Amino acid sequence: MGPIITALVLLISSFSIWFGVAEAKETRPNILLIVADDLGYSDIGSFGGEIATPTLDKLAKEGLQLTNFHVLPSCSPTRSVLMSGMDNHQAGMGTMGEFKTPEMESHPGYVGYLNLEVAALPEVLNASGYHTYMAGKWHLGHEKNTRPHARGFEETFALLPGGGSHWSDMKPLSPSQTMAYSRNGKPVESLPDDFYSTTYYTDVLLKFIDQNKEDGKPFFAYLSYTAPHDPLHAPKEYIEKYKGKYDVGWDVLRENRLQSLKDLGIIHKDAKPFPRLASVKSWNEMSAEERAEAARDMEVYAAMVDYMDEQIKRVFDYLKEIGQYDNTMILFFSDNGANGHLPTAYPGQTEEYLNSFDNSLENRGLPNSYIDAGPGWSQASMSPSRMFKAFTSEGGIRTPMLVKLPGKTTHAGTMNHSFFHVRDIMPTILDFAGVTHSEQFDGRKVRLMQGRSVLDLFEGKVATPYAEASQVGYELFGLKAYFVGDWKILQMPKPFGTGEWELFDLKQDPAELNDLSEQHPEKRQEMIARWDQYKIDNAILDISLDLSK
């Protein structure tokens, strides 16, 4: 072979290798994780809601709708499990940071931030060659070494606490809290005048993806909206879109949502709903002024969800524009059930602070207002479930879940009713990305994940996940639960429960109305024993909080 021919062969080989590497980089999949904040189970259209959510409804048709997905009862504990694949006590969030008590101070499971004993999802993905981007709510640590930029996200715009104003005024949930934003670990002193949380989080995430779109590396993008967390705020034109929609009241809405869930086959056709709480007035018993204000509050809530759906469409459209939509795993869910608590429940809250806002009918949902959905609408959003956010009953921990894998799948548009838990999300993402997780990370020893991959379920290869996927324990604020298949034990203090362990068959009784302890005493004892072992395994303290506010 002559020198010229040899050189040509080597050149062709080099091009082949180069193009092969480039192709491999281009086809390595992206991951887009979208989390809503306090979104109710039946709020989006594919789960029976009347709110306009065409983007998410289309995602459900393109992917898989999971109707039996469970999270933690509140924001930051769910996010700690999501980011670690571990029980919340193992990840440092045995309680929310805002609710730490003196007796928790010396216990590592209750530090109130995502601890360093776990390897965070973005840390692991970034170390394996993924770009890692985050926009929105973090709620897993305020200090410099616990902010998202320190935990593996290379580009961040993060709201560090649990919530606050959605406008540029940065008004907190209570006067004792601070509305703190961080950009790549550094404090953000002020926001643009036209800031609205849902818009801005979407804007910055798209910028993060766009700036590296040509380098061939895949991305993990965490879009962590604060909608529809209170205070309820939305652009005026979106609020007007729902004017009069909720004049029928929460009793009718709850029944309508229940029937829609039955019609869709999401719940049993004979399922009974948990009754309206005694503390919530019947809509017909309310004054005209009370009904007008309450209806407006739900109009704002619906507007927030509607607007969020439109912003998600912007992300999808952009991914299609750059040719990455069909190369991206997309996951969407809510961090807990709808929030039925009043603003007075926030630590450090004062009547003076709440009275400083303009909550006139005309200003509700606009800047300088502070309104909430309250228990009436939240029970409707969580129908047929018992209670709502902060409770280990189904109303606090069951949320809508949508998953779409790259390309078209044979099971697109189908529902799966298998139980699985947020602890399985990180292992599944790592499995999908072909990334391993070990006990050593970045020079420190970390805990192996308790969750396991359910990728075969997402891919439609199996009808149910691994056998132990439904064996999950709960404890938060002293409220407890344990699952095995369709069986669940639940212990909540009076007046929310009996104070004793109750036993339910969730397939027949999703509202947790019929305690089967007397009919199945052996099953009850077996599951209590499982919870006792769960308590030992996860170093859970005997602490409870007053949730009656």
Q: Which residues does the annotation mark as catalytic?
A: 75, 139
Distance CA 359, CA 372 (A): 11
Residue 373, C-beta contacts closer than 8 angstroms, at least 6 positions apart: 228, 230, 232, 297, 298, 301, 338, 339, 340, 381
Question: Contact, 109 vs 453, CB < 8 A?
Answer: no
| CA 453 centroid distance within chain | 18
Q: Nearest 5°: phi and psi at 502?
A: -115, 150
Helix orientation angle between 288-321 and 197-211, rounded to the nearest 10 degrees:
10
Distance CA 508, CA 49 (A): 22
Distance CA 470, CA 214 (A): 42
Residue 15 to residues 20, 28, 216, 453, 483, Cα–Cα distance (Å): 8, 20, 17, 37, 55
Q: Nearest 5°: phi and psi at 137?
A: -80, 130
Q: In the block, which residue shows the tokens 């838990």?
A: 421
Angle at the Cα of 281 from the Cα atoms of 277 and 283, rounded to 5 degrees: 120
Here the tokens at position 275 are: 């009754």
Distance CA 170, CA 173 (A): 10
Distance CA 256, CA 484 (A): 30
b/e per residue 497-527 (b: at least 16 CB within 10 A) = beeebbbbbbeebbbbeebbbeeeeebbeeb
Over its C-alpha atoms, the chain yields an Rg (Å, rounded) of 24
Q: Is the dihedral of CA 493, 495, 501, 503 positive or negative?
A: negative
- If residue 134 lies in a helix (H) or strand (E), which one and from where to where? strand 131-137
User: Could you give the residue ranges of the DSSP H alpha helices within 168-278?
Assistant: 197-211, 236-241, 250-263
Residue 523, C-beta contacts closer than 8 angstroms, at least 6 positions apart: 487, 503, 516
E strands, 407-471, are: 414-416, 420-421, 440-441, 444-445
Distance CA 393, CA 371 (A): 25
Residue 264, C-beta contacts closer than 8 angstroms, at least 6 positions apart: 46, 47, 48, 415
